Amino acid sequence: MDQIRIGRFIAQCRKAGGLTQRKLADELGISDKTVSKWECGNGLPEVSLMLPLCAALGITVNDLLSGERIAKADYQKKAEENMMELIRENAENKKRLALSMVCAAVTVIAVCALIALAALLALPTAARVALIALALATAAAGVGAAAVLDAKAGYYRCPHCNAAFTPALGEYVKAYHTLVRRRLVCPACGKTGMCRRHIVR
């Protein structure tokens, strides 16, 4: 999905309907920050908001996902394209998540091997320090790569207001987490909570 194009289209329809971001947000029961995020091309509306959003803007979901009003003649074709695109994006998210787990596992193994080498081999101190430095650098790179892949796969849902959002990478990395939940500040209601991760948009 072309988020920039969809965002511009949302803004254009909203203005054409004489709505402010605030007004549209109130109508959907979300924060105006979320509307602003969509319009900047920073994330798509979650599925449960798509119908109410389209109703408020006077467009169809097919128009929304295409980022333009679809002519009747092209409607079916566009709908099929959009459907395939959504399926493809879901598959990609799952792939990213699997890749991030592999990346984390490889990193752990590499770092353990480097530390074992540093500890077990009879080496001059400088070489030992260099090995440990390399282990730390590998750990940092691996954790970074895994986090980038992981943060991009799917989204989180606020336990208070049920808003869906993707956290900024910095916030994501810092957050206390379990396997499926992460302690994040919700951009919609501003509350902090253990937000559950969702892969499928």
Binding residues vs Zn ion (CB under 5 A): 158, 160-161, 163, 186, 188-189
Which runs of consecutive H residues, i.e. helices, occur in 68-199?
75-120, 125-152, 169-174
Residues 6+ apart with CB under 8 A from 201: 44, 46, 47, 86, 89, 90, 93, 154, 155
The two tokens of residue 174 are 């810092």
The residue whose two tokens read 């920050």 is: 33
CA dist 81 and 124 (Å) reads 62
Count Cα atoms within 13 angstroms, Cβ side, for 45: 26
Between 104 and 194, CB nearer to Zn ion? 194
Task: Print burial letters for 57-93: b (CB count within 10 Å at least 16), e (below 16).
Answer: bebbebbbbbbeebeeeeeeebbeebeeebeeeeeeb
